[in-house]
Amino acid sequence: MKPRVGKTANREFVGKLGERSIIETMKKYFDVMPESPVPFGDDVAAAPIDSECIAVLKTDMLVDKTDVPVGMSLQQAARKAIVMNVSDFAAKGVQPLAALVSLGLPRRLCEADVEEIAKGLNRGAREYGAFLVGGDTGEASDLIIAVSLYGTAIKSRLVLRSGAKADDILAVTGLFGKPPAGLRLLSGKCEVSHELNKTLVDSVFMPKARLREGLALAASGSVTSSIDSSDGLALSLHELSRMSGVGFVVDKVPIADEALRFVECCEVDALDLTLYGGEEYELVVTVDPEFWSKAEVAVEKVGGKLLPIGRVTREKTIILEINGKSSQIEARGWEHFKSEA
Amino acid sequence: MKPRVGKTANREFVGKLGERSIIETMKKYFDVMPESPVPFGDDVAAAPIDSECIAVLKTDMLVDKTDVPVGMSLQQAARKAIVMNVSDFAAKGVQPLAALVSLGLPRRLCEADVEEIAKGLNRGAREYGAFLVGGDTGEASDLIIAVSLYGTAIKSRLVLRSGAKADDILAVTGLFGKPPAGLRLLSGKCEVSHELNKTLVDSVFMPKARLREGLALAASGSVTSSIDSSDGLALSLHELSRMSGVGFVVDKVPIADEALRFVECCEVDALDLTLYGGEEYELVVTVDPEFWSKAEVAVEKVGGKLLPIGRVTREKTIILEINGKSSQIEARGWEHFKSEA
């Protein structure tokens, strides 16, 4: 995307700094809620209900020009706006109950477009057991779908980003690489078989939040920290590292077969695709080794899989160890604004 | 605002239909939450916490090109985005506890701009006793500030739009006309004295939600229905009428002195300004006549005023009766999209 030109072009803070820096900048000006159950910047926010129970809150915004790839229908885009939020609830092990939507609609849309958006929102919410309970619309230049989710949780059971301890097992709820491969296919940079194309593109158009897995993991009491991977596996690891004050050694690269087949056709680096891709919806968790079997069984019982990919270390470095070779996993991935600059 | 031209310009549903119709269209596709404590389309939404207590939720979105008049600072715009939401909580008598914000930022903004937005958000939240607890940012063509609010309430005490009964007293928490007069001044259509200009423009730049009044009224148990007046007094009355299945006779026009002085200078119809203006933040309530004094005292105790302007009728018409003359109050006012078309 080309930056706008004009007299303010040289001030392009938003374009240059990326989402994380903007949130850090803003946070400085926010008074902190006393006894806030969740620190600012975790996957979800929260407010106390009583001494035991908390309200879990989340807002995440879809903007067509950065979050809706070419070919994605309006219904799929609206559903995705819900799934993006559900994925964060999944990471914390919280059932979403109610969703609200603030909708910015470009003037050119017709009634059928609005109906498609409504269908997608309802579909996304119902897939994960939530209901749309309210919303707001206004005119905007872009299509904007800002979803807010609400649920409740027992405060002591909420899985934060900050609880990982040295020697915990690092695990993921599934394999990576399909959505970033799909995005590359959609941008027309490469071609693969019809069947592989469909699988990879579908992973972009119809993302699935790992809610069942997240709920099962939280209920098992075995998880020490958790995050979703919408900005990519590498950034999720760096975020867990920062919030928990630990590091990681990754000794298995969790790449999907379909992503490997894509890599073979399209001259893309497999590691790059797996670690730095983004638009992923797997959960990245750390598990107390004493309770590993409990965690594994809990996820299998809901039809999922928990895949160990490494371990938590005391040193705050994030290292990939494959075939006896060590390298740093960098803090980069797909981030709003920056990747587009 | 000029509609976009292009091949889809003839389909301009969003431009033609207005916010209310869009919400009605979408609602058809939403599954209804069982035992929802608040019907879809009231000032706030809600979800049950337990048999007595509910979570109160609201999202309302500010878009610079429709909601931020020329001359309003970014800090004021961000504060307004919070106040818009607080006003709806005020109408329901609910204390907001936590706020989240989804921020769409145009790429041209600089760091100081982002800081101003953060200050405005925090200021708005703290003015009304809430805290910013989370948020999301993304790039957008317009400045978008979608705020979500959370609070809790005793279900049986929530004041809905649907409880007005014939012979209840119709009342407002303050006088109307200043914000629409201020908006006209900002558009450069007229000039008034410096002092009057400042008062009227300030009412636009620094709106105040009637939270103290709303909380006091709800606690008094005297209010049968309530709504805020951000779309104007006339539309608020039509909405209460529709939701309660009643009508109104308005026999006092609640116009502010400053608005009257504006009317004298600027050849604007006083009734038009008061009824059909919009951007107002007074509460419009109906009060059980038996408890009128209780309601009046409750509002006075928090430093406000409750002004009777008419009564609720069985006939579902909304009539203005002034100086022995009757006329219909029309269902029009300031509405997103439509007024701009």
CATH number of the domain that B38 lies in? 3.30.1330.10
Q: Average model confidence (pLDDT) for chain B?
A: 92
Residue to test with chain A: of B1, B12, B20, B29, most A Cβ within 10 A: B29
pLDDT of residue A21: 84
As a whole number, mean pLDDT of residues B269-288 equals 95
B28 close contact with A: CB closer than 8 A = yes
pLDDT of residue B103: 96
B52 close contact with A: CB closer than 8 A = no
Residue to test with chain B: of A5, A12, A30, A74, most B Cβ within 10 A: A30
% chain B with pLDDT above 70 = 93
Nearest to residue B98, comparing CAs of A102, A145, A96, A31? A31
As a whole number, mean pLDDT of residues B74-95 equals 98
Number of Cβ within 10 Å of residue B325's Cβ equals 7
- Note whether A152 and A188 are same-domain residues: no
Work out the burial of residue A269: count CB atoms within 10 Å of its CB; fewer than 13 is exposed, 13-18 middle, 19 or more buried. Answer: exposed
- pLDDT reading at A311 higher than 70: yes
User: How open is the CA angle A76-A79-A82, to the nearest 5 degrees?
Assistant: 150
Domain that holds residue A243: 169-334
Number of Cβ within 10 Å of residue B16's Cβ equals 15
As a whole number, mean pLDDT of residues A308-330 equals 97
Count Cα atoms within 13 angstroms, Cβ side, for A334: 21
- Note whether A208 and A292 are same-domain residues: yes
Q: When comparing pLDDT for B336 and A187, which is higher?
A: A187
As a whole number, mean pLDDT of residues B213-234 equals 96
Distances from the Cα of B50 to the Cα of A57, B154, B315, angstroms: 18, 10, 38
pLDDT of residue A12: 57
**Minimal CA separation from B117 to chain A, in Å:** 8
- Note whether B108 and B22 are same-domain residues: yes
Contact at CB, A67 and B138, closer than 8 angstroms: yes
CA distance A44 to A37: 10
**Minimal CA separation from A334 to chain B, in Å:** 12
As a whole number, mean pLDDT of residues A316-336 equals 89
Contact at CB, A139 and B59, closer than 8 angstroms: no
pLDDT of residue B12: 57
- Note whether A34 and A141 are same-domain residues: yes
Chain A residue numbers with beta carbons less than 8 Å from the beta carbon of B44 are 134
- pLDDT reading at B53 higher than 80: yes
pLDDT of residue B212: 98
Whether B4 is covered by a domain: the verdict is: no
pLDDT digits (tens, 9 = 90+) for B9-40: 345 567 666 777 898 899 999 999 998 999 88
Chain A residue numbers with beta carbons less than 8 Å from the beta carbon of B136 are 59-61, 146
- The structure's pTM equals 0.93
- pLDDT reading at A30 higher than 90: yes
Distances from the Cα of B127 to the Cα of A86, B63, B88, B95, B210, angstroms: 31, 22, 15, 12, 12
- pLDDT reading at A34 higher than 60: yes
As a whole number, mean pLDDT of residues A58-87 equals 96
Contact at CB, B114 and A49, closer than 8 angstroms: no
- Note whether A83 and A127 are same-domain residues: yes
Number of Cβ within 10 Å of residue A109's Cβ equals 21
Helices B211-220 and B292-301, axial angle in degrees (round to 10): 140
Whether B3 is covered by a domain: the verdict is: no
% chain A with pLDDT above 70 = 93
Strand arrangement, sheet containing A45-48: A45-48, A53-63, A144-154, A98-105, A131-139
A277: domain CATH number is 3.90.650.10
- pLDDT reading at B95 higher than 70: yes
CA distance A4 to A74: 26
Residue to test with chain A: of B80, B141, B230, most A Cβ within 10 A: B141
Token couple for B168? 């209840």
- pLDDT reading at B299 higher than 50: yes
Nearest to residue B145, comparing CAs of B64, B41, B204? B64
CA distance A283 to A87: 8
B282 pLDDT band, cuts 50/70/90, is: very high
Whether B1 is covered by a domain: the verdict is: no
Q: Is B56 helix (H, G, I), strand (E, B) or coil?
A: strand
A16 close contact with B: CB closer than 8 A = no
Contact at CB, A117 and B58, closer than 8 angstroms: no
Contact at CB, A337 and B59, closer than 8 angstroms: no
Strands A131-139 and A98-105: parallel
- Note whether B126 and B35 are same-domain residues: yes
- Note whether A149 and A175 are same-domain residues: no
Distances from the Cα of B136 to the Cα of A63, A252, B83, angstroms: 12, 32, 19
User: Which DSSP string do the residues of B279-291 spell out, in sequence order?
Assistant: ----EEEEE-GGG
Chain B residue numbers with beta carbons less than 8 Å from the beta carbon of A117 are 26
Nearest to residue B263, comparing CAs of B275, B252, B251? B275
- Note whether A250 and A127 are same-domain residues: no
Residue with tokens 């980003």: A161
- Note whether A277 and A305 are same-domain residues: yes
Chain A residue numbers with beta carbons less than 8 Å from the beta carbon of B336 are 137-139
pLDDT of residue A156: 92
Token couple for B234? 């006339």
Last residue of a domain, one of B157, B177, B205: B157
- Note whether B173 and B115 are same-domain residues: no
A21 close contact with B: CB closer than 8 A = no
pLDDT digits (tens, 9 = 90+) for A188-241: 888 999 999 999 999 999 999 999 999 999 999 999 999 999 989 999 999 999
- pLDDT reading at A340 higher than 60: no
- Note whether B199 and B51 are same-domain residues: no
**Minimal CA separation from B287 to chain A, in Å:** 26
Tell me the backbone φ, ψ of residue B118, rounded to 5 degrees: -60, -45
The answer for A 73-132 residues in CB contact with B (under 8 A) is: 97-98, 100-111, 113-115, 117-119, 121-122, 125-126, 131-132
Chain B residue numbers with beta carbons less than 8 Å from the beta carbon of A128 are none
pLDDT of residue B278: 83
- Note whether B129 and B228 are same-domain residues: no
Whether A86 is covered by a domain: the verdict is: yes
- pLDDT reading at B1 higher than 50: no
pLDDT of residue A13: 64
When divided into structural domains, chain A yields a total of: 2
Q: Among A186-190, A230-234, A270-274, B83-87, where is mean pLDDT lowest?
A: A186-190
Chain A residue numbers with beta carbons less than 8 Å from the beta carbon of B19 are 137-138
CA distance B79 to B69: 14
CA distance A144 to A123: 18
B188 close contact with A: CB closer than 8 A = no
Q: How far is CA B253 from the centre of its chain?
A: 18
Nearest to residue A242, comparing CAs of A20, A2, A11? A20
Contact at CB, B11 and A109, closer than 8 angstroms: yes
Whether A235 is covered by a domain: the verdict is: yes
- pLDDT reading at B336 higher than 90: no
Complex confidence, ipTM: 0.92
Q: Is B65 helix (H, G, I), strand (E, B) or coil?
A: helix
pLDDT of residue B14: 72
Last residue of a domain, one of B157, B188, B206: B157
Last residue of a domain, one of B111, B127, B157: B157
A271 close contact with B: CB closer than 8 A = no
